[in-house]
Amino acid sequence: MKFPRFVKIAVNNVLGVCHLETSSEGELIIAEGAEGELIEILSSALKFSYELVQPKDKGWGNRKDDGNWTGKIGLVQSGEADLGMCKIILTEQRKTAVDYSYPYDTMQMVFANKAPSRIPQLFAYVHPFSAELWLTLLALFLTIPFLWKVMFKCNASIISLFGEVFYTILGRAASVRLTKFHEHILLGTWVVAVSFLSRSYTAVLLSFLTFPLHESVIRDIPRLSEAIAGGKYKCVTFDGSSVTESLKASPREYVKIIGHAIEENEWFVKPTLEGVGRAISETNTAVIAMKPYFEDNYVGTASISTDYFSVYHFGIIFQKQFCCKKILDRKLSLILSAGLYEKCKRHYQFRAHLKQRANHMEGLENIKALSVENITGALLIYFLGVSVSFIVFLIEIYLPKLK
């Protein structure tokens, strides 16, 4: 049996995959995209012409209560289209309505959220050490003078010993007069310890000042699920896709939580560059889609998760009574074996890598010499100290006169 000479192909707009536009004649065309090129290769190999049709809801397809389907699945099921393409996930539920070709692609489903913003350099001076380490240093600073007062046989006051401890932290030599060997050991171990700490702080601080710090964002699925369950985060996915059903059917409980939250709150977004871009730019919002989609369209503006929900297979859909499944599978297998589709994908991946490289080079350009802005925190601390010192100075002058 020969392959039909003319077919209708159901598609929807997915940037980098099937970027749809309307020609001057009013026809729907694929302006660019890896699957647009795949359609052309199949058309040439099987010698058929085609017409593109788009579902009214512009979605992939979900099952309705009456058993019919929406989106591209619905067009193929009802016979309004012969084939369906443009990143259709192959699921068991969809197989009840349509049939599948040989899978031609595999991708990871991930989430992305707003790229972390820069932390003001005013606070860079507290970041080299963790909160626990700062508290430990404060405790040592408050207790070491009293230990010295007990262990050292000297007439120095507690206030002066506090000053000595502070000077050693800054790298100055201690001026405490010691007579016993155990006193030298106690002071020497303290000086070695604070020297290591102060030099470590200086080294880390310089790297923070010359290369901007960024806020921490959620990068893994368990933390995302926990944040959604706590009402601190929301997660959206493409309207008309099968993502929600896949998440709810997951064996992992924390993934099910995300799926149910999306469905109950109707967290859906149209798969357009502007719509997804707005969702990603929102605070405490994650978007679920295929990893290459984010890599190709939102380089530098989105932070992609380090793990993934699942690995999905993609194929061409057609009616169960379609005449030429074996012919289509055979040609598709030959195209994949020849690496033609892989070449199409790499073309668009190369574009994404160019964007990533440009973004990386822009980041390197931000590495520059220290400026006044970089030392704002230090200047603020200095002027605060000067102000306190001046106030104390005035009190020391006028307090005796008041008495």
- pLDDT digit string (tens) for 96-143? 899 999 899 999 999 999 988 777 666 667 778 888 888 988 898 898
Q: Would the pLDDT of 229 be above 60?
A: yes
- Per the structure, the complete domain to which residue 389 belongs is given by 371-402
Q: What is the helix, strand, coil percentage profile of the chain, to 5?
A: 50, 15, 35
Residue 382, token pair as written in the block = 């200095």
Of 189 and 174, the structure prediction assigns the larger pLDDT to 189
Report the CATH number at residue 81. 3.40.190.10
Cross-sheet strand order for the sheet of 49-53 = 49-53, 6-10, 83-84, 317-318, 99-100
Examine residue 294 and state whether it is found in any structural domain, yes or no. yes
pLDDT for position 393 = 76
One-letter identity of residue 152: F
Using the predicted structure, report yes or no on whether residue 276 has a pLDDT greater than 80: yes
Q: Are residues 130 and 60 in the same domain?
A: no
Q: Which helix (H) or strand (E) holds 105?
A: strand 105-114
pLDDT in tens, 234-245: 999 988 788 888
Read off the tokens for 144: 């070491």
Structure tokens at 209: 């000042």
**Pair (16, 59) in one structural domain:** yes
pLDDT at 353: 67
Global pTM value: 0.66
Would you state the pLDDT for residue 356? 60
Q: What is the mean pLDDT of the chain?
A: 84
Please tell me whether residues 79 and 16 are part of one structural domain.
yes
Digit-coded pLDDT (tens) for 330-358: 999 999 999 998 888 888 777 766 766 66
Amino acid 230: pLDDT: 93
Domains of the chain: total: 4
User: How far are the Cα atoms of 23, 52, 115 from residue 26, in angstroms, in the given order?
Assistant: 5, 12, 39
Q: What percent of the chain has pLDDT over 70?
A: 89
